[in-house]
Structure 1
């Protein structure tokens, strides 16, 4: 059974992060890649006012072995990029494990990834290698492929318990029939913990609802814009 990890990485720990920090009004999107191997993020769409500035930043930061302009569509430029994974511990970890990069987005400060591994062992091995190379990954969510599109699988058991109780007690009614303090007391946790569970649960359900509503299953929908 495959495993999907949603995680974030500080931009300072990625070799290509600083490129975004040196150019204003730049947006980059990566094609969906399966698997990563040595061709990490090979095809890159760049939306930038000054194409020359982007290419100069790529050369100045030495983040790629080579890159080549392929075509232009509207205001976007498509590049083939061979990233220098040997100077980027995170890319090295990706390249050593059977993994598909489903999404990659971020800024100079922080990057977010959605990765699919063939097995739980592969996902665990990836995390160990990141730890060994001092790559600070923050795991935000873990899903198995069997989760499908069911919203309940997006939540942890504690989050499901909390949001179910909140619905039952009328927390989301107008006017509210209960308070976060009362919910917390019934759950046997602090009101801060109860509030955090509700925020995370509603955020995940909202993201899933928007994703289902706005991203049809087309090649374009499988691309993440930064």
Structure 2
């Protein structure tokens, strides 16, 4: 069964480390990360915390990147296309040999946080073996199985899914609200407190699985 794995990699073992050293306030987030077929990783990358001029100077002296192009500038965020050409052995292994998908990646000057969809647990084990054999770090933070239903895709329990969907369908999240916790709790045959906890925990799980890239920040 496919698994969603949250893991982190030390910044010094990954692409853009020299840029992160030169501009320690910058944060990077990958919108998309694919392999070119030529041993090159091509991310679509958001940058926050630095201006274009400062970043361009850092990119020019960073041996891990090439063909950097600024494709959009939005308030405090910059969107880049580039090639990662060094420090990407682990990502290439996951994308090519193991047929994994890097769903999200967020980096600062300390760590890169990745969320990776592996086709099965064997692929995750082979990733760990690959890192051990090459002295690389892949620190697994959390692993969960991904089923083909909404509950499995978003990390919810069946009870959380039922509570959230019912609350949405009956207008609990609308402004103004069209129903209250007491009415929903009666229909689910649980207490007001139990329903409140299910909604909070379910909402937290949805935010973590769809919006947050790392413990520090996130965007969509």
Taking structure 1 as the reference length, what is the TM-score of the superposition? Answer: 0.61
Contiguous gaps of at least 5 residues in structure 1: 153-205
What is the CA distance between 1:40 and its match in structure 2? Answer: 3.3
Q: Structure 2 vs 1, CA of residues 211 and 73 (structure 1 numbering), >3 Å: closer, same or farther?
A: farther
Residue 4 of structure 1 corresponds to 4
CA contact (8 A) 2:118 2:124 kept: yes
CA contact (8 A) 1:6 1:139 kept: yes
What is the CA distance between 1:82 and its match in structure 2? Answer: 0.8
Among candidates 146, 150, 153, match of residue 156 of structure 2:
150
Residue 113 of structure 2 corresponds to 112
Q: Structure 2 vs 1, CA of residues 102 and 60 (structure 1 numbering), >3 Å: closer, same or farther?
A: same
Q: Which secondary structure does the structure 1 equivalent of 2:79 belong to?
A: strand
Pair 1:29 & 2:43 matched: no
Q: Structure 2 vs 1, CA of residues 213 and 70 (structure 1 numbering), >3 Å: closer, same or farther?
A: closer
Number of residue pairs the alignment of both structures matches: 165
What is the CA distance between 1:64 and its match in structure 2? Answer: 1.0
Residue 212 of structure 1 corresponds to 206
Residue 102 of structure 2 corresponds to 101
CA contact (8 A) 1:7 1:141 kept: yes
CA contact (8 A) 1:5 1:114 kept: yes
Q: Structure 2 vs 1, CA of residues 150 and 84 (structure 1 numbering), >3 Å: closer, same or farther?
A: same
Query: Deviations for 1:119-149, whole angstroms, at most 9, x for unmatched residues?
Result: 2332222222222221111112211113443
Residue 88 of structure 1 corresponds to 88
What is the CA distance between 1:91 and its match in structure 2? Answer: 2.8
What is the CA distance between 1:72 and its match in structure 2? Answer: 1.6
CA contact (8 A) 2:29 2:107 kept: no
Q: Structure 2 vs 1, CA of residues 124 and 213 (structure 1 numbering), >3 Å: closer, same or farther?
A: closer
Higher helix share: 1
Separation (CA, whole Å) in 2 of partners of 1:65 and 1:32: 17
What is the CA distance between 1:65 and its match in structure 2? Answer: 2.6
Show the 5 A alignment for 1:65-214. 65-85=66-86, 87-96=87-96, 97-146=98-147, 147-148=152-153, 149-151=155-157, 209-212=203-206
What is the CA distance between 1:214 and its match in structure 2? Answer: 8.2
CA contact (8 A) 1:18 1:108 kept: no
Query: Deviations for 1:49-74, whole angstroms, at most 9, x for unmatched residues?
Result: 42111111112121113211112222
Separation (CA, whole Å) in 2 of partners of 1:207 and 1:141: 17
Taking structure 2 as the reference length, what is the TM-score of the superposition? Answer: 0.63
Q: Structure 2 vs 1, CA of residues 151 and 111 (structure 1 numbering), >3 Å: closer, same or farther?
A: farther
